[in-house]
Amino acid sequence: MRRWPWVTLPDVYLRQPLPAGETGTWTCHRDTTPGDIAVLYRADLFQDFSHVFRVDRGPFYDQTLWREFGSEDACECTVVAALQTPVTLAALRGDRVLSKMPAAQIGFHGTAFPLDPPYWRAFLNLASPLDRPHLRNVGGPL
């Protein structure tokens, strides 16, 4: 299982409710596989990580996503958690490990990035104590 930050802009996250159990299609990285976990980074207005997805199928080509977002790769996924306390970009950049993550250094400009095990461990430590058990359950304790 791999972990990924997926990036979305306000035109998507403000019009789309994300309750746990909801399924949908999101842009993803071409190396994503079923069973992977993605944490949703809300760019611009919030600049935080707010939701966790489990990848159910993909990647595959989705013409609608290609036209709307310019991404060739799409994954079907399920929302497995909404973080009670989203992890902010400022907090991530203030962490000695996560601040070195290439995606953080470029402000998550893109659609999907790998979240390697050292960064996942640091992300777990940065998350709220109320969110950590659920994150470990879905994404592994690494």
| The pLDDT of residue 92 is above 80 | yes
> What is the C-alpha radius of gyration for the chain, rounded to an integer number of angstroms?
14
Q: CB of 10 within 8 A of CB of 44? A: yes
In the CATH scheme, what is the homologous superfamily, with its name and number, of domain 3-124? Answer: ph1033 like domains (3.10.590.10)
- Domains in the chain: boundaries: 3-124
Q: Which pLDDT score is estimated for 13?
A: 78
pTM of the model: 0.88
pLDDT tens string 26-50: 888 999 999 999 999 999 999 999 9
| The pLDDT of residue 71 is above 70 | no
pLDDT tens string 100-127: 999 999 989 888 899 999 999 999 999 9
